[in-house]
Amino acid sequence: MKGEKELEENKREKILFNRDEIARRVRELGREISLSYKDREIVVISLLRGSFVFAADLVRELSVPVEIDFMTTSSYGDSETSSGIVDIVNDIRTSIKGKDVLIVDDIMDSGYTLEKVIEHLEMKEPNSIEICVMLDKPSRRKVDLSPNFVGFSIPDVFIVGYGLNYGSYYRNIPYIFTFE
């Protein structure tokens, strides 16, 4: 695994979405979701760690009552691709029985993680479950599942920033970019 300093020296960034584009799209998503859940309250479940930046920005744009909880899953480790084996490392604490749930994740590619999370949450008997992702890579989908709300669709490139990481780095970068 390369260290952050070595990565900085060996990469050329290609910015896919800058800070302003992300903020604008998150505001739009907030309006879309608020309209979809009009007159209802929702439980937002942020999948850690990747979605924490996006989820924090998104919930501030919602105009409906929101309860927030977190779930930690693992399928990538330090790899660029999912192993296909998804572990639920930390479960939610909130009772979602009879409630409307919105899962918020940073990216959907293979769909394995979200498929496993939905299966897990369905056992808790929510009223509904929908998915919101900042980034969607439909060309990589391995399961029959699509997000209900999408920030941006992207091609099959490895991206970092805005909560997305490479190893232990780059989550704090306020834009989304790829290494070239």
Point out the residues that are catalytic: 109
- Cα–Cα distance, 40 to 78 (Å, whole number): 38
Q: Is 117 helix (H, G, I), strand (E, B) or coil?
A: helix
| Phi (first) and psi of residue 173, to 5 degrees | -70, 130
Angle at 142 between CA 132 and CA 102, to 5 degrees: 15
